[in-house]
């Protein structure tokens, strides 16, 4: 399954507005009044933890001490996390470039 990103800018703006209001994203426990940057920082920390879990599972598999199912699950989660991070990065760069093209 490939992540294609948001193709409709209006849907992206609505998603951002909804997130800014509630700050309740799956996997992120946001406090009331927490900023968007805090939520993104927390998501980044969780992404790093997921990637480290995939690395540890891979190392355990190489040593022969891990269950194959656990290794596949951890590596798949890490792969999906990486794809998500890349998609978010691409969208943020695209938004930045769009802002830079705006006339003053």
Tokens representing 25 are 């994203």
Q: pTM to 2 decimals? A: 0.60
Whole-angstrom CA distances from 73 to 33, 59, 77, 83, 95 are 34, 14, 6, 15, 33
- DSSP SS3 for 35: coil
- Mean per-residue pLDDT of the chain: 80
Distance CA 104, CA 37 (A): 26
First to last CA, the chain: 41
Domain spans, the chain? 36-104
Q: pLDDT at position 1, please? A: 41
Contact 22, 29 (CB under 8 A): no
As a whole number, mean pLDDT of residues 35-52 equals 90
Q: pLDDT at position 26, please? A: 55
Q: pLDDT at position 4, please? A: 47
Which residue in 84, 62, 80 sits closest to 71, CA to CA? 62
């Amino acid at each position: 399954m490939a992540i294609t990103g948001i193709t409709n800018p209006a849907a992206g703006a609505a998603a951002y507005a909804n997130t800014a209001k509630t700050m309740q994203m799956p996997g992120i426990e946001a406090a009331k009044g927490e900023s968007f940057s805090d939520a993104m920082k927390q998501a980044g920390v969780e992404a790093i933890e997921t990637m480290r879990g995939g690395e540890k599972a891979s190392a355990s598999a190489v040593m022969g001490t891990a269950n194959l199912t656990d290794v596949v699950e951890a590596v798949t989660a890490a792969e999906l996390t990486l794809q998500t991070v890349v998609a978010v990065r691409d969208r943020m760069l695209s938004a930045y470039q769009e802002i830079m093209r705006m006339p003053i």
